[in-house]
Amino acid sequence: MRAARLIKMVLLLQSRPAMTAAELARELEVSERTVTRDAQALSEAGVPVYADRGRAGGYRLVGGYRTRLTGLHRGEAEALFLSGVPGALREMGLEDAASAARLKVSAALLPSLRDASRTAAQRFHLDAPNWFKEPKTPALLPAVADAVWDDRRIGARYRRGEDEVVRELEPYGLVLKAGVWYLCARVAGSASFRVYRIDRFTAVEADGERFEREPEFDLPAFWEERAEQFARSILRARVVVRLSPEGVRGLPHALDSLTAREALAEADGPDDDGWVTVDLPVESEEVAHTQLTALGPEVEVLAPESLRERFAGDALRLAGLYHSGTRHPRDGA
């Protein structure tokens, strides 16, 4: 346990010019007294840890010192090579940089761990795009990715419906969602963050000016919040349905799973027939018709009446197809 903590302390000091005892204690989840003892132990082991005293003091490594990655065990080394997404890196124009980084890490590992990249790649692969969709890399993605990495403002033309708008953006982060790339950015001079689809940019130009990132910005948390807001914002209509036990099990697969589960949780218990009445938020009556059709006879629409009539019409057409007593001849039969 202590050996792992000492290695982490060295790696922390390698990544920063200096750290106070309080900062190290917080990162290592120990007391400042333990940090002092660990620094002494590293020094005695030959690691050049130097302590500056005074208000601006802290711990630092003698300039140029680097440790080989001898503290990694096999599981950690293999996990390290899972941290990149090869297809995404290639689309952003970072494949060469990532390859060089992997080579340098491999060279620094112990000989017994240098096959970690191969063993990880044989066991795990991320295929981000949806089925039945041809993935397309937006032409302007590499330019946007460069600006994100360098914290540089961009002037962008963005297609919004039939119109194009011009924005000066501070690009904070990129998100790959189901094969579609999005940019999370702040409009220059504004405090609000927005999300843009990369494939809707028609022009992007970095103006060379760097922006100051908000240190508290958390890209995963921001994306999760916005994704949830978007999912809820499009649910502008409501329908009431009865579901059989099989329909209850199938509802999360027919609709957005979170929306379906929340609606089911708020529903009353089953009636005498075992069916459950559920009030569902939906995007529109048209979308609800498409989604609920997947449940077949396991769902009965109660409201609105217009949607109920559509399903009644579907039922009559199906009955006519299957109970007419004749088969439609196949082509060429």
Q: With the C-alpha atoms ordered 105, 115, 91, 126, is the resulting torsion angle positive or negative?
A: negative
SS3 143: helix
Q: Is the pTM of this model over 0.85?
A: no
Identity at 38, one-letter amino acid code: D
Q: H helices then E strands: how many in the chain?
A: 13, 10
Report pLDDT digits (tens) over 193-210: 999 999 999 999 987 789
Question: In this predicted structure, which of 76-80, 274-278, 301-305 has the lowest mean pLDDT?
Answer: 76-80
Q: Per mean pLDDT, which of 226-240, 252-266, 290-304, 309-323 is the most reliable?
A: 290-304
- Asked if 217 contacts 172 with a C-beta cutoff of 8 angstroms, the reply is yes
The percent of residues in the chain predicted with pLDDT above 90, rounded, is 36
* CA distances, 165 to each of 91, 148, 157, 193 (Å): 25, 21, 6, 17
pLDDT of residue 333: 47
Please give the average per-residue pLDDT across 311-317, as a whole number: 94
CA-based nearest residue to 141, from 185, 213, 97, 88 = 88
Full DSSP string of 191-236: S-EEEEEGGGEEEEEEEEEE----TT--HHHHHHHHHHHHHHHT--
Task: For residue range 185-194, list pLDDT tens digits in order.
Answer: 999 888 889 9
Highest mean pLDDT: which range of 55-69, 114-128, 145-159: 145-159
Beta strands in the chain (DSSP E): 49-52, 58-61, 152-160, 163-177, 180-187, 193-197, 201-210, 237-243, 276-282, 299-303
